[in-house]
Amino acid sequence: MNQHARLQDRAIPFIDVAAQRRRLGRAIDDAVARVLAHCQFIHGPEVRALEAELAAFCGAKHAIACSSGTDALRLVLMAWGIGPGDAVICPAFTFCATAEVVVLAGAVPIMADVDARTFNIDPASCERAVVTAKRLGLTPRVVIPVDLFGLPADHQAIAAIARANGMRVLDDAAQAFGASCNAGKLGAVADATATSFFPAKPLGCYGDGGAIFTDNDALAARLKSLRVHGEGADKYDAAHIGLTARLDTIQAAILLEKLKIFPEEIDARNRVAERYSAGLAGVAAVPRVGSDATSVWAQYTIRLAPGRRDALAAALKARGIPTAIYYVKPLHRQSAYARFPLADGGLPVAEQLASGVISLPMHAYLDEPLQDRIIAAVRDALAA
Ligand SMILES: Cc1ncc(COP(=O)(O)O)c(C=O)c1O
């Protein structure tokens, strides 16, 4: 078999968790073994060490590790006392967890439209959502921008709208820990920031995990209580109604090892994205990253003209190249969320993106020959 044939035969994973596992093998095994030796499986020393390193990494005063990205969002809404009669504004083009936590809190999610080039919440639609909330007799209390696919939202514009309307900003950075914008690194930008360590995320653990970031001492203290059943100074006198929402010590130990190579991995992801964009710019709408932002490329997502997506996905699949569609249905088209209000002006961009986006394989271990194979396959399919 010649070299060319071997390259063509290599299966391409959409996200290669195993490649990183191979690179870190012994370090992770040793880290897990240390936890198995000391047996502090809940809130062991690795959790505190991870919180200190995560906070230092992004420049936030506090990092509070927890059980998932969803719980990270939920805990913040609980800590802020969000509930019935409140409105929380979020983009419609996101993973359902962004709005799920709002409904679980008893508040009403108001879906805002997004920007076609960045996929992130459109500040103008966010302002219209405030008007919508008030017209419905709700109090707009929080806006949850999402840093979709790893790219920071327009945090300056969102913060200004929040300030003008007495709202807080809860950044859903589930896909974007490690990214930065002109206001700073995510984690140090919003009133509170939630991230996810789900294995496929840019910084993922080997199960579920998440973290919350804030500079606010009182909020940090409340979050630490809420993640352990709302415990007070006396462990058996609960001060608040809370959750079981801790990060396991084993997951913290794994994340400490992964954090060591995370900056290198972010650079590698950016190199993949740059090569993709250079190779595809003429044939598809490639993602736009402003000069004042960096993305961690949780996904590399292109936009196609209507009706072209299925044929491209099929052509790539035939050549062993997996694709994914985030998101086939924006929130307001999903059964559980169709009953919630939309921002005045509707969601034309979210609708249009849902029918035109497609994501290509993206991870830090995608080498140049594989990148070239993917670029060539996309170009061939779109030229056909
Ligand atoms: C935008 C967004 N928010 C929240 C979450 C929830 O994170 P987790 O799966 O860790 O609960 C995800 C996970 O995919 C996400 O993509």
pLDDT, average across residues 199-205: 98
Under the banding of pLDDT at 50, 70 and 90, the label for residue 57 is very high
Atom of ligand 1 nearest to the CA of 70: 11
Atom of ligand 1 nearest to the CA of 175: 16
- Give pLDDT tens digits for 99-119: 999 999 999 999 999 999 999
Is residue 48 pLDDT above 60, yes or no?
Answer: yes
Give one DSSP letter per residue of 295-353, joined into a string.
---S-EEEE--TT-HHHHHHHHHHTT---B-TTSS-GGGSTTTTTSPBPTT--HHHHHH
Q: How far is the CA of 202 from the centre of ligand 1 (A)?
A: 12
Is residue 234 pLDDT above 70, yes or no?
Answer: yes
Is residue 89 pLDDT above 90, yes or no?
Answer: yes
Q: Which of 302, 298, 297 is nearest to 282 (CA)?
A: 302
Omega cis (within 30) before 365? no
Helix, strand, coil abundance in the chain, percent, nearest 5: 45, 15, 40
Q: How far is the CA of 78 from the centre of ligand 1 (A)?
A: 17
DSSP at 186: T
Q: How far is the CA of 204 from the centre of ligand 1 (A)?
A: 11
Q: Which of 196, 227, 255, 301 to mutate to test the pocket of ligand 1 (most atoms within 8 A of CB)?
A: 196
- Give pLDDT tens digits for 238-265: 999 999 999 999 999 999 999 999 999 9
Atom of ligand 1 nearest to the CA of 71: 11
Higher per-residue pLDDT: 164 or 3: 164
pLDDT, average across residues 127-151: 98
* Residues lining ligand 1, Cβ inside 6 A: 68-70, 94-95, 97-98, 146, 172, 174-175, 196, 198, 208, 210
pLDDT, average across residues 26-54: 98
Is residue 8 pLDDT above 70, yes or no?
Answer: no
Nearest CA to ligand 1 atom 7: 69
Cβ–Cβ < 8 Å for 205, 251: yes
Atom of ligand 1 nearest to the CA of 198: 10
pLDDT, average across residues 53-75: 98
Is residue 5 pLDDT above 50, yes or no?
Answer: no
Task: Compute the mean pLDDT over every residue in the chain, rounded to the nearest whole number.
Answer: 96
Q: Which pLDDT does position 230 carry in this prediction?
A: 97
Is residue 2 pLDDT above 50, yes or no?
Answer: no
Q: SS3 string of 96-160?
A: CHHHHHHHHCCCEEEEECECCCCCCECHHHHHHHHHHHHHCCCEEEEECCECHHHCCCCHHHHHH
pLDDT, average across residues 15-23: 93
pTM score over 0.95: yes
Q: Which pLDDT does position 290 carry in this prediction?
A: 87
Of 9-18, 235-244, 289-298, least confident by mean pLDDT is 9-18
The whole-angstrom distance between residue 198's C-alpha and the CA centroid of its chain comes to 10
Is residue 357 pLDDT above 80, yes or no?
Answer: yes
